């Protein structure tokens, strides 16, 4: 094959038939190395030098551009004016910029080049790696002249110098599909499964100078593919976090995933890959790979590296003996869940909906870290997010997005705190203000003041129960009178693992176990004064079999749930609404036990009672409920 045949030399060649497998692309590399750029400083000058237009025609086109069409390209003006044909302009630009137009039907890309760019990324961004030579990656694009950001991403992805060429029209898409399809049989030398990639890394020699930048060189395709595959595994398994824990030999690199709230072992790598793996992750998050003594925070958009859209928050923590651990929180551009789909009981759902439509007041969602408070908060906001409502949110970080909200990421390092954001919001004509968390007295005080001046304020609090939330806010310095007037309601919640519907097992409860459970249920309060006999009769009627035995569910394990017996998580809730009796207790600074007694007298379903009812409904199992509610 000659260089003239290979390089189409025009932007609209007639596509050639695909070349047979194994065609060399040495001619293309030679042509790229030998090509000299056009000396012309401007496109118009290059067109005149080639005799395509005269100096007078150029002057007329430039005058028209300056006077009538300043935002239109010179070449477009010349083509529209009939002075040039489109293919003449394209060829002239290619020659002037030193950009070759390549007929991809006659090229067989190198397998090592294809391995550097994942197939999904190449298809989405419309780019085809052609060859890897002397630290340069040659890639074909449809429009190299307007692909600066894409070329920068390729440099980041591969750590190589990128040499772009233009693909002849109608050849790029088919060539990408064909190249990756034909490369698939080579998978024996380039395994895609995470465990196979880990095994391949184990067989490779120790990386040289692992602590240096060279250790994270992304041309080490096996390591790159392993990390991409690891993240893909986490997404597939619905993990919320990836923990990369490094150690000296023989412990090595331990990788764990948090799935449905529990940490599970996933993989291990030899200790010699600790620095290389951490460095690679730092590069993906645009962090300093030379810094090993201080913690670092960053973000990774997995779509930039060939995966699905998944945003990850990353923290690097220095550990003993000069090692570092990494934790990745998978955020993924989460969207709010409809309020009726977050597992609220009918009673709690109606109570929460009643308060979120109030024009002003304070609503709190409380629970420990990882209990789903932010999800519930955004579900409530989704319910009232209309065109007539201006909603400001201050969050750290912004994990869930929804159209219509004005969302702010706080940054305490520069003084942009929750309290500072609240003060700013109050000058920005809000209807609803959402605060990610009440961490201090200043934020809580401003929130109460805002709720008393015509704004609905929603926030979260790290407390164990609704009653404890009131005590906590009074302890940090809130005025009990203003706080009691502002409070609309407090929703406490926990998360438990949800039973897999494909393999859960239904079984009868023993009488002594049922009696013990009824005692726990009644002792936790609420229930509107229901007696033990009435409670047991209700359970037998609602959840019993024809023999009068009360049935419950437990986990088993199957392929759908990775043999764990659980799939997803479930919320347990209790809602404490404000009324005159509660306001009086708050004003008297009554202890939490008095608030609990009031809620019991009202018949408010507790977290434990909500969990037991959901257990009987087949949504979770009893040990999960008891563990989450500390029973």
What DSSP string runs through 408-448? Answer: EE-BGGGTB-HHHHHHHHHTS--SEEEES---SHHHHHHHH
- Interatomic CA distance for residues 34 and 98, integer angstroms: 10
Is pLDDT of 216 > 80? no
- Closest by Cα among 410, 489, 478, 501 to 456: 489
At residue 219, the pLDDT reads: 40
Q: How many CB atoms lie within 10 A of CB 114?
A: 23
CATH superfamily of 3-185: Type II secretion system, protein E, N-terminal domain (3.30.300.160)
Higher pLDDT among residues 414 and 525, named by residue:
414
Buried b (16+ CB within 10 A) or exposed e, 300-320: bebbebbbeebbbbbebeeee
Confidence of residue 210 (pLDDT cuts 50, 70, 90): very low
**How large is the average pLDDT for residues 534-548?**
88
At residue 602, the pLDDT reads: 83
Is pLDDT of 94 > 70? no
**How large is the average pLDDT for residues 367-382?**
91
Are 1 and 106 in contact by the 8 Å Cβ rule? The answer is: yes
At residue 206, the pLDDT reads: 59
Most confident of 150-164, 260-274, 422-436: 422-436
Confidence of residue 67 (pLDDT cuts 50, 70, 90): confident
CA distances from 50 to 45, 447, 529 (A): 9, 71, 96
Bridge partners, 361 (sequence order): 456
- Interatomic CA distance for residues 561 and 566, integer angstroms: 6
At residue 482, the pLDDT reads: 94
Higher pLDDT among residues 67 and 27, named by residue:
67
Tokens 């025609």 sit on residue: 57
- Interatomic CA distance for residues 588 and 604, integer angstroms: 22
Tokens standing for residue 409: 């990421």
- Interatomic CA distance for residues 626 and 529, integer angstroms: 22
Is pLDDT of 2 > 60? no
Are 381 and 458 in contact by the 8 Å Cβ rule? The answer is: yes
- Alpha-carbon dihedral 536, 539, 541, 543, rounded to 10 degrees: -150
Is pLDDT of 495 > 90? yes
Are 464 and 368 in contact by the 8 Å Cβ rule? The answer is: yes
**How large is the average pLDDT for residues 527-548?**
83
Is pLDDT of 528 > 90? no
**How large is the average pLDDT for residues 3-18?**
34
- Interatomic CA distance for residues 310 and 302, integer angstroms: 5
Is pLDDT of 12 > 80? no
Q: Which CATH class is domain 191-330?
A: alpha beta
- Interatomic CA distance for residues 207 and 272, integer angstroms: 7
Are 123 and 130 in contact by the 8 Å Cβ rule? The answer is: no
CA Rg value for the chain? 32
At residue 32, the pLDDT reads: 67
At residue 186, the pLDDT reads: 44
Q: Specify whether the backbone of 202 is left (phi greater than 0), alpha (psi in -120 to 50) or beta.
A: alpha
Q: Taking each helix axis from N to C terminus, what angle separates 418-426 and 441-451, rounded to the nearest 10 degrees?
A: 20
Bridge partners, 162 (sequence order): 137
Query: How far does CA 409 lie from the centroid of its chain?
Result: 16
Are 190 and 119 in contact by the 8 Å Cβ rule? The answer is: no
Q: How many CB atoms lie within 10 A of CB 193?
A: 11
Are 586 and 543 in contact by the 8 Å Cβ rule? The answer is: no
Domain ranges of the chain: 3-185, 191-330, 339-628
Peptide bond into 119 cis (omega under 30): no
Tens-digit pLDDT profile for residues 466-489:
888 999 999 988 999 999 999 999
At residue 373, the pLDDT reads: 92
At residue 442, the pLDDT reads: 92
- Closest by Cα among 162, 274, 121, 123 to 211: 274
pLDDT more than 90, % of the chain: 37
- Interatomic CA distance for residues 186 and 189, integer angstroms: 6
pLDDT more than 70, % of the chain: 86
Tens-digit pLDDT profile for residues 347-360:
999 999 999 999 99
At residue 39, the pLDDT reads: 58
Are 580 and 598 in contact by the 8 Å Cβ rule? The answer is: no
CB within 8 A of 550, min separation 6: which ones?
508, 509, 514, 536, 539, 540, 543, 544, 616
- Closest by Cα among 188, 190, 204, 189 to 269: 204
CATH number of 339-628: 3.40.50.300
Average pLDDT over all residues of the chain: 83
Q: How many CB atoms lie within 10 A of CB 67?
A: 8
- Closest by Cα among 281, 277, 274 to 251: 274
């Amino acid at each position: 094959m000659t260089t003239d045949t290979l390089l189409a030399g025009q932007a609209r060649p007639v596509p050639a038939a695909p070349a047979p497998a194994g065609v060399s692309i040495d001619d293309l590399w030679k042509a790229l190395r030998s090509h000299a750029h056009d000396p012309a400083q401007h496109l118009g000058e290059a067109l005149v030098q080639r005799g395509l237009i005269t100096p007078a025609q150029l002057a007329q086109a430039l005058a028209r551009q300056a006077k009538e069409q300043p935002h239109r390209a010179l070449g477009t003006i010349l083509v529209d004016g009939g002075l040039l044909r489109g293919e003449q302009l394209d060829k002239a630009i290619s020659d002037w910029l030193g950009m070759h137009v390549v007929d991809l039907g006659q090229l067989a890309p190198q397998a090592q080049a294809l391995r550097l760019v994942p197939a999904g990324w190449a298809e989405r961004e419309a780019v085809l790696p052609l060859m890897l030579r002397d630290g340069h990656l040659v890639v074909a694009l449809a429009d190299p002249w307007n692909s600066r950001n894409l070329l920068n991403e390729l440099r980041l992805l591969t750590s190589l110098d990128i040499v772009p060429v233009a693909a002849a029209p109608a050849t790029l898409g088919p060539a990408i599909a064909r190249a990756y399809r034909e490369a698939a049989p080579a998978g024996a030398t380039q395994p895609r499964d995470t465990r196979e990639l880990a095994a391949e890394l184990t067989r490779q020699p120790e990386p040289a100078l692992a602590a240096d930048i060279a250790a994270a060189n992304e041309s080490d395709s096996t390591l790159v593919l392993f990390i991409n595959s690891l993240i893909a595994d986490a997404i597939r398994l619905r993990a919320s976090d990836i923990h990369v824990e490094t150690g000296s030999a023989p412990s090595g690199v331990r990788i764990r995933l948090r799935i449905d709230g529990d940490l599970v072992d996933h993989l291990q790598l030899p200790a010699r890959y600790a620095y290389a793996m951490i460095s690679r992750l730092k590069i993906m998050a645009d962090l300093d790979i030379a810094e090993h003594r201080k913690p670092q925070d960053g973000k990774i958009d997995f779509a930039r590296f060939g995966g699905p859209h998944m945003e990850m928050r990353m923290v690097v923590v220095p550990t003993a003996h000069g090692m570092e651990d990494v934790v990745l929180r998978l955020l993924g551009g989460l969207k709010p869940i409809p309020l009726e789909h977050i597992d609220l009981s009918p009673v709690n759902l109606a109570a929460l909906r009643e308060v979120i439509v109030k024009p002003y007041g304070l609503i709190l969602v409380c629970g420990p870290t990882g209990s789903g408070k932010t999800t519930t908060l955004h579900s409530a906001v989704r319910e009232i997010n209309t065109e007539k409502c201006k909603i400001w949110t201050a969050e750290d970080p912004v994990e869930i997005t929804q159209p219509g909200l004005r969302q702010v990421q706080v940054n305490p390092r520069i003084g942009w705190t929750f309290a500072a954001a609240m003060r700013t919001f109050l000058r920005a004509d809000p209807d609803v203000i959402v605060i990610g968390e009440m961490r201090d007295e200043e934020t809580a005080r401003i929130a109460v003041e805002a709720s008393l001046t015509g704004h609905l304020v929603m926030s979260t609090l790290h407390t164990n129960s609704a009653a404890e939330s009131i005590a906590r806010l009074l302890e940090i310095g809130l005025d009990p009178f203003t706080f009691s007037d502002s409070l609309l309601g407090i929703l406490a919640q926990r998360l438990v693992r949800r039973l897999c519907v494909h393999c859960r097992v239904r079984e009868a409860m023993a009488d002594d176990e049922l009696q013990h459970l009824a005692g726990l249920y009644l002792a936790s309060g609420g229930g509107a004064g229901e007696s033990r006999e009435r409670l047991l009769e209700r359970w037998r009627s609602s959840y019993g079999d024809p023999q009068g035995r009360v049935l419950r569910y437990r986990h088993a394990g199957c392929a759908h749930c990775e043999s764990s017996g659980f799939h997803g998580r479930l919320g347990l809730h209790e809602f404490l609404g404000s009324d005159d009796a509660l306001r009086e207790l708050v004003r008297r600074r009554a202890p939490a036990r008095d608030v609990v007694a009031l809620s019991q007298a009202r018949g408010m379903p507790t977290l434990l009672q909500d969990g037991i009812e959901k257990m009987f409904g087949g949504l979770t199992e009893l040990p999960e409920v008891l563990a989450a509610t500390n029973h």
